[in-house]
Structure 1
């Protein structure tokens, strides 16, 4: 009964991360008749509203095998979506569940539904949270049979593997032992009772008692711990003892005191596996930081197959339980305190805000978030230790030099919080504290801060909402740099809510097919002959309202939805190009705008190739438009990306040219084909001689660099005449045609052909 090593391809486990006792092998598990043992993979459901957590988890456990089988991942982004999936897929092994999603208790409510309503007892649940100060109540962890509880920051790849491996093993054994329901109920009861205990000693006593219950005998033996790095690794400490060995509790377990028991415990810890020999049964439980535990229990009779399986599951539960006791204790101690600075943390600030908002003092209170400017650069340049010392120094100065009645907290990263009477929470007074350099590690460091403030008398909502509003004000202050601070206003809240509402409406509208393309013809100025068209994205809602692209495209970019929308636009435009060519317009070019977010996507070039292949559009008649500001960012990366795009055969135009600050030397390096004069300069060319100078400069620049030039926004014949006289060859605008539907475009082209023929 030795410890099973991880299969090939799995992470190497450290001395404090590996799992515990293995009583059975794969053959026995398969022979149990459990349907799960016949599956090709373990199914892991990741539930989190952060897409990065899904990709990070999948990447961390990529190509990992557990118990000889690979992992299969399912994904849900809300508690409701997860419940629907669980109702449809009952054979999921492990649930990696975010605690806080659409509601602060969404995770725990889902756990309750899983256990009480869906009756899924075998499913193993690992809670995760991205908020270090957030800790579920002990009775919640105890009552819902939660396997593990971790903050996301502490889940390294090895620890994530360890937690999932323990959960998978627990799930496997629960399914394999379904016929022994009474024994499983004892294990669940034991786990719940152990979780109800406080402190390692109480849990250790509970382990001996519950093990005795499973084995059908009186509690006896010891549970001891070896703490590595203490200078005497050969000395064991007895945490709990029962029966004839009760006198050993709290003492060192040495060969002189009890040679047989010391030998059993020593072999168990050395092998990191449970043993059964010489009248003793031992169980091994790995702990954190080298704190390995071993339970040694007198046991004379042989161990049956079911007992071995039950003890295996029990050992997994205990290993997690011992870990959770220390974790939950630590979380409870740190629930309201920032560990670095000793200041109150976000959780405590929310409590204080809720109390203020519910009391008579709300009208006199102000909340301020204090964000250190350029702290990341300081951290990178001088090191994380220096950064930590700086944060501690900032916290001390805020606490010691501001009004003592104010509450000062650190709510995360480099953001502090000041809360209290509005007369004392003054931006000028807070920022004045940063005029004096901080003396850190033998050197002076000058730090500035930006503030976002909320007057609670103007706030509607909870304490958590007040923090969100202050964060909105802080972001506005950073973007506008208005005296280093900004107060939240109701109009800002309305603006944010409107953006969120539109984002959801856009996502739904895209799925319902409310987006469509219109095509504006592009013509040769000399002959007014159409040579191509620009595909323009439009949105008409269910009630018939048209939403301007200047409103919804920035939201699509901010939300990332522009990547999917952009791919759809490209395919629609290329398909329309193919239809136009089939109608006889063989020398027709289709121009498609590409968003900065879309262009930066690592799969953009692959997406472009797929669109060309799927539609059959000839790349030499396809043009992609990028903005001038996009063309100027990250020059070296852009040059390579454009080269990849050019290798597909499509051409590149720089849109809105003249509105940015292009470097001519950089422009020469870019593999572009056309410059597009911004409509602003086209409008100005009829105003004065100076108004046409920029347009003339762009035309001349294009001629010198061998680039085609097109003017957009041409609305009257006078503008067209001036552009012709300046030598601009191409144009588009209302003078020639407004954006047209595909049918109207085909009709317009037909009319143009008749005019030319006449």
Structure 2
């Protein structure tokens, strides 16, 4: 457009205010001048160069065609405050096309448009002004400086309001998205780090700051110090440490002040924001570099209100997770979390060269609880946990696996039998007590072969059980053979239970004879477990399994019942003077119903109590003597007889022996086997002599040779049983044998 089309352009300099005070701008409003006439650019720049609005001056960007204007708008976007747009340039509607593309296609709402034309006939329709959100339309002859300034100021106000509204809207969108992201976070550390990052994002800052809270429900610390829960930027290395570790007096002072006054603190180059929900308090320290605007303060208020709920949720989740995965007493990882830790190592991807897993079982811990009380027991566990933590610090991962069992994961250099044993050299403090403790250790060397955490724990537990059974040492390393043995034992117990329920177990009977007359005076009931191949599993194998599993209680009751029933059958054949010896194990004595079971069975089967003889071993007496002595005295009063089996093979105390209501001593077969021609069987002789002095009958086991029977008779032994007289036999054969012996 040529100059001739607007003769009065000089009018834009009219009405200038010569007396205004000079101001210094603190920033700039971007003004895009779009016109194909260079002189219009110059005149506009000269007219408005000294204008300051809201402490900001004007910065001019120039375009000389619609296409060039669109390119600049595409690059600068909403940072352009006002576009002074000529309508007619390379075409009659170039300016309108710029407005249409900017609004409709680019979606830019904030920049204000002032249309200018030197040809009034090209004025846009009213609908166009509405559709393209055009602030003003002026002919160039109308724009004196004062009118141009008025239009610019009005348009800048409009731009600022729209920008604030849109910033608020975008800020609220960010708040919703940020809060939603944070609500998905369940880790206190990650949540707090996210708070710093999201606030920094909202304010357009580099993420740098800390979230702090007092110890207690959040970190399970005993003190009331302020700890860093989460951090971003240069502070990230201080997470979970005390605030003082940050070595920045300003941060320490203002965070503590914020928590004390329970209010936000806004300073020029930093802010401390207060977070509170249902008593969960935190202070968010942010490095700003500039003062927060009022609109951003309002956005922060909205954001923090939303985030406070999330902060409460994450703390509650943290407490639930702590309850689920941490031991309530020692605050160490519990069994579930320890398995998770083992899962990480057993995934086959993590290098586990020379990594050891160990279980530490405190010896006789139940005695401490029973003798000194549970409070002392808890103090002992805390003392052990503290020593483990102090000894290994961050080198070994710890856990409490059971009531008195601790787990360790770490390099073999630290986790080995010698190091573990050294832990227990010094006594442990437990309140007023100083206790020396022993322990057993089960250890597993990890390999790179993938395996589950529960499997690793099983292996270490197998090793621990072997260590507890070992009389020579208190530790064992896991070997595959141990698991094979354990698997075999479990399979045997399972099959024993199945066969017992199916009534496949049998009772065989071995006659006992008077050594003088060699007449049968009784029988010993012997349990047999037949196999599918026609053989039998040795009682030495399955009786310990039955005792270990507790099956012996039900099996023992069945043996007693069957023995009494068969004794009743023998009575109908005239053998009513025979007695029946039945073996009793320690688990049966521990059963509260044991005494009543014995009485009820004998009474129900109509058997004279004195015809039933309960056989016990020395080891049973020494295991829990008080239980055994009391039970036998009550049964003795009921009328049953009591014999001690395998006498002389154990280490029984004579004081306990004298307390037992015994009727008979059984000389073990190992001592009978010592009887050879021309050689004295000293122990067998001693047992018989002791029995005679105590007024007890004696019976020799395992008599297989005539000279053994003669020798025992010569010593004064009363009875015998063994292959010389009769082998163990099923009941039908026993009945036939007894009838045959009677008819001789």
Q: TM-score, normalised by structure 1?
A: 0.53
1:616 partnered with 2:580:
no
Deviations along 1:359-383, one digit per CA (max 9) or x if unpaired, are: 2424532101123334444555665
Residue of structure 2 equivalent to 1:680:
670
Residue of structure 2 equivalent to 1:724:
713
Residue of structure 2 equivalent to 1:642:
632
Task: Report how far residue 389 of structure 1 moved.
Answer: 4.4
Residue of structure 2 equivalent to 1:747:
736
Match of 2:528 among 530, 534, 538: 538
Assess if the C-alpha contact under 8 Å between 2:348 and 2:448 holds in 1.
no
Residue of structure 1 equivalent to 2:322:
333
Distance 2:510 2:609 in 1: 20
Match of 1:586 among 576, 580, 585: 576
Deviations along 1:146-186, one digit per CA (max 9) or x if unpaired, are: xxxxxxxxxxxxxxxxxxxxxxxxxxxxxxxxxxxxxxxxx
Task: Report how far residue 619 of structure 1 moved.
Answer: 2.2
Q: Cα–Cα, structure 1 residues 364 and 622, in superposed 2: closer, same or farther, change >3 Å?
A: same
Assess if the C-alpha contact under 8 Å between 1:402 and 1:430 holds in 2.
no
Deviations along 1:86-115, one digit per CA (max 9) or x if unpaired, are: xxxxxxxxxxxxxxxxxxxxxxxxxxxxxx
Distance 1:451 1:398 in 2: 14
Distance 2:359 2:570 in 1: 57
Assess if the C-alpha contact under 8 Å between 2:347 and 2:452 holds in 1.
no
Q: Cα–Cα, structure 1 residues 623 and 402, in superposed 2: closer, same or farther, change >3 Å?
A: same
Task: Report how far residue 540 of structure 1 moved.
Answer: 0.8
Distance 2:604 2:450 in 1: 52
Residue of structure 1 equivalent to 2:621:
631
Distance 1:640 1:336 in 2: 45
1:368 partnered with 2:344:
no
Deviations along 1:714-745, one digit per CA (max 9) or x if unpaired, are: 11112112112111121000111110111111
Query: If you compute each CA radius of gyration, which structure gives the higher value, 1 or 2?
Result: 2
Residue of structure 1 equivalent to 2:263:
none
Task: Report how far residue 439 of structure 1 moved.
Answer: 5.5
Task: Report how far residue 631 of structure 1 moved.
Answer: 3.2
Residue of structure 1 equivalent to 2:501:
511
Assess if the C-alpha contact under 8 Å between 1:365 and 1:421 holds in 2.
yes
Task: Report how far residue 483 of structure 1 moved.
Answer: 3.7
Task: Report how far residue 671 of structure 1 moved.
Answer: 1.9
3-state SS in 1 of match to 2:703:
coil
Residue of structure 2 equivalent to 1:671:
661
Residue of structure 2 equivalent to 1:267:
none
Distance 1:458 1:578 in 2: 65
Task: Report how far residue 491 of structure 1 moved.
Answer: 1.0
Matches within 5 A, 1:592-603: 592-603=582-593
Residue of structure 1 equivalent to 2:511:
521
Assess if the C-alpha contact under 8 Å between 1:459 and 1:466 holds in 2.
no
Distance 2:627 2:511 in 1: 32
Using CA pairs under 8 Å that are at least 6 residues apart, name the structure with larger relative contact order, 1 or 2: 1
Task: Report how far residue 333 of structure 1 moved.
Answer: 3.1
Residue of structure 1 equivalent to 2:49:
none
Distance 2:643 2:449 in 1: 48
Residue of structure 2 equivalent to 1:738:
727
Q: Which shows bigger deviation, 489-498 or 599-608?
A: 599-608
Residue of structure 2 equivalent to 1:106:
none
3-state SS in 2 of match to 1:746:
helix
Residue of structure 2 equivalent to 1:499:
489
3-state SS in 2 of match to 1:335:
helix
Task: Report how far residue 563 of structure 1 moved.
Answer: 1.2
Residue of structure 2 equivalent to 1:475:
465
Q: Cα–Cα, structure 1 residues 467 and 747, in superposed 2: closer, same or farther, change >3 Å?
A: same
Matches within 5 A, 1:115-264: none
Residue of structure 2 equivalent to 1:466:
456
Task: Report how far residue 453 of structure 1 moved.
Answer: 0.4
1:394 partnered with 2:388:
no
Assess if the C-alpha contact under 8 Å between 1:631 and 1:654 holds in 2.
no
Matches within 5 A, 1:426-445: 426-438=416-428, 445=435
Distance 1:665 1:379 in 2: 28
Q: Cα–Cα, structure 1 residues 704 and 469, in superposed 2: closer, same or farther, change >3 Å?
A: same
Match of 1:566 among 544, 550, 556: 556
Distance 2:461 2:399 in 1: 15
CA-based RMSD: 3.0
Q: Which shows bigger deviation, 404-413 or 571-580?
A: 404-413
3-state SS in 2 of match to 1:369:
strand
How many residue pairs are counted as aligned between the two chains?
435
3-state SS in 2 of match to 1:573:
helix
- Segments of 5+ residues of structure 1 without an aligned counterpart are 1-195, 199-323
Q: Cα–Cα, structure 1 residues 412 and 580, in superposed 2: closer, same or farther, change >3 Å?
A: closer
Distance 2:584 2:434 in 1: 47
Q: TM-score, normalised by structure 2?
A: 0.54
Task: Report how far residue 547 of structure 1 moved.
Answer: 0.9
Residue of structure 2 equivalent to 1:271:
none
Distance 2:336 2:314 in 1: 21
